Amino acid sequence: MSAASMTRIGYIGLGNMGGPLARRVLGEHKLAVFDMNPAAVQAFVEAGAVGCSSPRDLATRCDVLVLCLPTSNHVRDVLFGSEGIADSLAPGALVIDQTTGDPTATRVIAGELAQHSINFIDAPVSGSVARAEAGTIAIMVGASQQLFERALPVLSAISPQIFHVGNVGAGHTMKLVNNLVSFTQRLVTQEAVVLGAKNGIDPSVAADVLLVSSGRNTYVENDLKTAVLSGDLATNFSLGLTHKDVRLACQLGVDSGVPMFFGNIARDVYQMAITEHGAGASMDYANLLMDRIAGTSVVPVRDQTDN
């Protein structure tokens, strides 16, 4: 199928990240959409997309299907569950999985779909919702060269920051590598700020110093002073999903014989935070755990409500 004929595109999963990604696709392509939230679908219909009544309905309308779901288990259920759509997709269809998934599960799913003559690749993204909306988010693609080139017209509509990192499963591996770095740096940075606070350093001053010193990182740049130190823990990423990503990275380490000293510690810290605040709470509720243990108040306790 040529890029020019790739006009029937479907998108399932219009949440915090999937919504902005799908809107980028809609800006350049005809798009059919489905989400469990009817309001999300209606918003896309008003923007010019075709709203679908079910995943099966959508599957019959597209040659290229993009998924952005919470986990690989959700991807499997959409494709092979009781109302799975694998049998509704036309032979030769391409499924692009933008979920932050399990690379082992991804390869298994790709093999199972191949038995239906359906192609499956992984193309998770990294960056903020704002970057997704701006079209500057990073996309990590696991695919053969042929399928990578076939997916490019869709992915290029989302962002020019596209990296072909290997065959199927490699995109999800790279996403776990990235998230392991991101989520552990948040913890060690907050730990250091708490250490400073316990020894007389104003957390705001510590944030200013870190911002122009060798301890600078994306958490310092984007969240520490502007959000966390003001008591705003309302990030769009939950403790449950954070723990899931770190757990998957640690399991990949076990499977491939790589020691995960710091990853395992981060996984356990996020699990402790889940125990105290629930899996639906913001990932930065882990910072309240550090304050409690250290006896500090680095994070102002505003009108926080666990969810």
Rounded distance, CA 25 to CA 38, Å? 19
Which residue has tokens 């769009």?
236
Supply angle C-alpha 248, 36, 27, rounded to 5.
Answer: 90
Q: Which amino acid is at 234?
A: A
Is 175 tagged catalytic? yes
Residue 180 CB coordination number (10 Å):
22
Nearest by Cα to 288 from 278, 298, 275? 298
AA letter at 165:
V
The residues, any chain, with a CB within 8 Å of residue 131's CB and separated by 6 or more, are: 137, 159
Chain centre distance of CA 222: 17
Task: Considering the candidates 175, 198, 225, 244, report the single residue annotated as catalytic.
Answer: 175
Helix (H) or strand (E) holding 50: strand 50-51
CA distance 24 to 252: 32
Catalytic machinery residues: 175
